[in-house]
Amino acid sequence: MRMLSDDIPSPQFIAPLRTRAEKVRFQRVKVSVLGRYMLADRREFPCQVLEMSPGEAMVIAPVSGVVGERVIAYIDHIGRIEGTIIEQVEGGFLMEVAASPRKRDRMAAQLTWLANKDVLNLPEDRRHERVVPDNRHSTVVLDDGRRYNCKIIDISLSGAAIELDVRPAMGTPVTLGRMRARVVRHFQNGVAVEFASAQEMLTVVQQNLRMN
């Protein structure tokens, strides 16, 4: 069964870098995810991505293709990507990823999770599927009333990983959106929280992330 379509036509955090020519580039992070890719002649092969950003992917592949060739790939945890081979490397190729700003933002969130998944290996992550919410912006309120804007990395029915400028102590009660939670883990640029009670539906979680 073909996994790919043949219609060829933003822990470590993803930070955009600018070259001297002011072209936006993204810092690649080390990952290890499997997938499949299709070259312009529609041949498909298995592959592994070792480094990736929302703009580029370092692909280990049995057939490298040629510079300038269009590629479509389906990568575990990332989904479908397409782009152009910009450099041949030993055992594979470097491809430039073509994506809309919205898709790059979602890709950055998934890559952030992949790069930090060992740090964020929370008990709820084994019980419930984690997803990147449609609206990633929310607020965290401490018991003393201090309020901070935050950005959601991922959520599950029983917890969330969030980018946050402050580090409340482990066990600190907080309110994320409208949900009571407590801090259960610290990591670079953020914290992980566990909800006071597991939610029944991810749609409820996402609704409750919204700011009042």
Per-run averaged pLDDT (10 residues), the chain, 212 residues: 43 44 63 87 89 92 92 86 92 92 83 67 49 82 90 83 88 87 84 72 56 52
Residue 47: closest CA among 93, 88, 86: 93
C-alpha distances in Å from residue 134, one per residue of 154, 156, 178:
10, 13, 17
Are 180 and 129 found together in one domain?
Answer: yes
The residue length of the chain stands at 212
The SS3 of residue 208 is: helix
Q: Are strands 190-195 and 179-187 parallel, antiparallel or unpaired?
A: antiparallel
Which residues does residue 38 pair with via DSSP β-bridges, in sequence order? Answer: 44, 72
Residue 149 belongs to a domain: yes
- Residue 196: give the domain boundaries: 118-209
Q: What is the C-alpha to C-alpha distance for residues 115 and 144, in angstroms, rounded to an integer?
A: 33
Are 138 and 74 found together in one domain?
Answer: no
Whether 138 contacts 125, CB under 8 Å: no
pLDDT of residue 86: 94
Are 137 and 100 found together in one domain?
Answer: no
Residue 75 belongs to a domain: yes
Return the structure tokens found at 49. 């991505």
C-alpha distances in Å from residue 105, one per residue of 11, 141, 205:
17, 25, 20
Q: What is the C-alpha to C-alpha distance for residues 63 and 27, in angstroms, rounded to an integer?
A: 25
Residue 66: closest CA among 90, 48, 84: 84
pLDDT of residue 196: 74
DSSP 121: -
pLDDT of residue 11: 47
pLDDT of residue 205: 55
Q: Which helix (H) or strand (E) holds 193?
A: strand 190-195
What is the number of domains present in the chain?
A: 2
Are 63 and 93 found together in one domain?
Answer: yes
Are 93 and 28 found together in one domain?
Answer: yes
Q: Which helix (H) or strand (E) holds 138?
A: strand 137-142
